[in-house]
Amino acid sequence: MSLPEVIIESHIPFVPEGFLAGAAHVRFLAPEAITPESVRDAAALIVRTRTRCDAALLEKSAVLFVATATIGTDHIDMPWCRSNGIKVVSAPGCNAPAVAQYVWSSIIRLLPDTWREITLGIVGLGHVGSIVADWGRRLGVRVIACDPPRRRDHGGWNAADPYSAGTESFCTLAEIARQADVVTFHTPHVREGEFPTHHIAGKEFFDSLERCPLIINAARGPIIDTEAILSASAAKKCFGSVVDCWEGEPAISGDLLASALIATPHIAGYSVEGKRRATHTVLTALVEDLSRRGLVSDADAAAAMSQLPPSPPAVPAGFRITPEAIVASYDPMADTALLRNGFTPGRFEQLRNGYALRHEVGFS
């Protein structure tokens, strides 16, 4: 029997050398080389956000497993994959500590004298928002949170463990606009359904701001209306913006690039530990899927699993989150300078794909 073919996008780091050797034919392809022709005979595909996985790519292929080494699945046609029996796996939460590092480093650097007195409004209390909230609690900052799906399902949240249900009340977006000195977004991009997030921060939101807050988008570009935030900044309705995720990436708004206090090429989650977590998650799921389908033997599956290093914790055991540790661990101003220096859409992708992965707080 011929070996199953597995395609892994070449920019995915920390795949062990010789992974699945002798058990599968593993090919590493650049994103632009992942085409209907190249995936035709593949049993499994592992990608990142720049590969659109839909009928156009997969309809004539043998692929029955798609994994993305990212937290989001915006680039995957989930209904089509489900209807065609394709299992889809992502890595939710893999980069949450790195995004929290980015958010808190930005806040402390931009508000060095006042950050301890802020009310932090978090929109989206999922994997990332919960860590941002937890660090806020540890740093002694007042945190309020808006998450309509969790409000429906959980009622409230646990201040000591924000990812869990509890007695802390969820706010509405209007209450965030009234009370928050910093608003940070951590939602998926959803266009339809009960809780759409497309342009959730639009003209109405910015017009309702009462405390001239700092606005942070380290979630998905289209949740913030670019023209609305530019107008709000010009009208002094907000203190300024921190933008890592942009509408129209990589062809981002030059005006927003110029006006943002911090502007980075979608790298808030680009840490060594985050990438290790993501790769560990998708490779584990790949081996389990190939084994379940009888495409690799139990012995080969066990050998492949033994190659994987452990997935790093959110912070090392016993490590204490402090403002000094956060600021020392990462400087988003350096990445801002790199993005602004002779910007072109190609430069956005170049910086993102060639990013020198940083360590998270507590790791070195």
Based on the number of CB atoms within 10 Å of its own CB, is 180 exposed (0-12), middle (13-18) or buried (19 or more)? buried
Q: CA-to-CA distance for 107 and 339, rounded, in angstroms? A: 20
Instruction: Tell me the C-alpha to C-alpha distance, in Å, between residue 212 and each of 62, 229, 256, 283, 327.
Output: 53, 12, 18, 45, 24
Tokens found for residue 312: 């790093």
Among 270, 258, 269, which Cα is nearest to 339's?
Answer: 258
Among 18, 6, 71, 2, which Cα is nearest to 287's?
Answer: 6
Query: Of the listed 266, 277, 280, 358, which one is catalytic?
Result: 266
Cβ contact 144:180 at 8 Å: yes
- Domains defined along the chain, listed by start: 5-90+273-306 (3.40.50.720), 96-263 (3.40.50.720)
- pTM as predicted: 0.91
Among 24, 22, 37, which Cα is nearest to 283's?
Answer: 24
What is the band of 158 on the pLDDT scale with cuts at 50, 70, 90?
very high
Percent of the chain with pLDDT over 90: 94
Q: State the pLDDT at residue 1.
A: 58
pLDDT tens, residue by residue, 100-141:
999 999 999 999 999 999 999 999 999 999 999 999 999 999
Task: Tell me the three state secondary structure of residue 52.
Answer: coil
Is 249 an active-site residue?
yes
Total residue count of the chain as it appears in this document: 364
Task: Tell me the three state secondary structure of residue 205.
Answer: helix
Query: Of the listed 247, 249, 273, 360, which one is catalytic?
Result: 249
Is 220 an active-site residue?
yes
What is the band of 67 on the pLDDT scale with cuts at 50, 70, 90?
very high
